[in-house]
Structure 1
Amino acid sequence: MKFLLFPASLVNPVHPVKIFLQFAHLNHLRSFNMLEIDFTDIDWLLIRQALSLALLKNRPVHILRGRAFLERNPEYLPLFDDIAAAVSSIGAGMLFPRNESIVFEPHKAQSGIYRLESAPFSSSVEILLFLMPALFYNKVRSILYQRGVTHSVLSYPTGFVKEFLLKALEQLGFYASLTLRRFGFYGSGGGALESRIYPQEAKRAPIFSGIPCAISGATIYISRLGMELALEEKRLIAEFTGLRQDRISIMDVQDSDGCGNSIQVYIDLGGIHLILFREVRIYNEKGDRAFNKDNVPAILSGLSAEVNTLILDRLLPEHIIRELYPYIIFSGADLPHKIEAPPVIRTGKLCELILG
């Protein structure tokens, strides 16, 4: 990773011993103000949101059982390592495991132009989502150039962020752009993203609740797995959802470092397109090939069930509500529906704990 801006110590040189003593004194004072985050049913999204909100508020946090979660779920270790590396690269503090916990002692994330990378079994999108809240509250635009995994089984595809999340955030006064320069699939990486995050503007608008919605189309992205598989996926999507096959497109991705398969269904939410998706696992976190075409029908059946539930109930999936929740709090808009779901309640309690 490479940080493009010069640290203040290079612009205004200070004796290194004096810097060390000031830093040690600051950390000693901050340790007394460390916020303890204790959730029994912790998951990766809660960990990432806790770190993101702590960076926004410049508040040291101690996430109990955070490291234990990572050890039980080793596929998330590369995400944590990449976020910790990003924190170090942009000079935003120190993030490290301690015993069974995770400790984050943040410094203010400054506006700037950053070049960041993600490992082949990680996600560039997760790094972006971690940094966005803090960068939104700066006075100057920030630009992120990222290389690595753009379509990860552990996160959202770039299309979800660009076409849905960022457009939903615009309604709440948060403006950003995302451009996919090159596909990078889980297990091989090599992709490229460019994003721009602008200062937040005061704005309050209603967020999705009881909205009319309908399937508007689907796209199958496939790389180095054969067109036969893509055609079978197209047939299954049409069968499971009732979507006409002429509304389902296939994109043969040839400019990528490895195999990949991303299936995305577009739901029209009154002008904004929500993307429900499945990233087909080609490799496991150890790098062993894990793809089995016999699993594809079950994968698409699960995706179709999620699509049909959304259309019938007109309620956003829990993980999407959780992703939007902090921004709704920031803007003062009405809270989302389905707040009785335990994972959403935990995200709400986290926001209350850190944001006050």
Structure 2
Amino acid sequence: MELFSLLLKSRNEYGLTQAEMVEKLSLYHKVFVNLDLITYSRWERGVSMPSTLRIIQLLTFAEYDVLSYLIELDLKLSKTKVNQLRRIEALAFDQQDLIQTSYYPVTDTRFYKYTASMPLTDLRKLALICESSAKFFNLTERDVQERCERAITLQEQGALHMLTCEGSPDYLYAHAMMSVHNEHEREQLINEFVDFYNIPREPNISGDKIIFFHSVMKFNYRWWEFGVFHLLKLLLDDPEIKEIFMVVRDKTAEQPYISFGFEVLAEFEEENPLAGIRKLISISRDDYLSHHGVIAWLKEHAEFVNMPMSIEN
């Protein structure tokens, strides 16, 4: 489907003139504040195309499934605007052979996603995940048990999304977490990002939010793709998430993210000099989604949309 025909369809569904549509959009989101009738008319006639962020907000305004339409729409994406995301992707791809052959030479793995509608409640698996955290946070056995129970509640409330890479026989190789927080916790995250998960938190979140994408290890290239897709899906599903946080460990990993628009907010130097310096980086949701590269990447990974709860690697 062409974008211009979708815009016309959406406007007709609301029974609006083009001028009324422009007015509605101008009040709906800040990206449309300076929108004029001529520009909108050009979109609807297919003469020009809105920016990526405007496309996302147009779909959100019309209450369409943003992720599906971004993949299905026939959009003329500039090749010069997809390169920044590809640099991050290339970094993950370049590390695949080293990671898989030197550290994690396993096969027959499966990736799982756990969300509010289908949380991870297996206490044995949760214990494996929480015990790995215990090594960093010096948690007691009781702390680990409490953390497992809390993880279930956090998932059920939409405050925690979990991804796992599991193998046979039922072995947990890697996990990643997307932890959603109230925006007022932002300064605490910046000041204490190394020990941020050491403090128990309540599951109640509302209003503007931030998300901390915490990947315990880079398992392989496919695992990286799996994580990025679900991060994008969560951002598109929940517009109240205003900022994304991640941790990088060296300049090689840091530079592509900085070029993409991430900012270094805090640093922590490990006691072991070989471990390098951990850096907390962040980017606003709007800046992250404003790149044409995001849509191009989603189109190339459309197979993730309708996949079952788990996929084979």
Say whether the fold is shared (TM-score over 0.5). no
TM-score normalized by the length of structure 1: 0.22
TM-score normalized by the length of structure 2: 0.24
Tell me which protein shows more helix as a share of its residues. 2
| Larger relative contact order, structure 1 or 2 (CA cutoff 8 Å, min sep 6) | 2
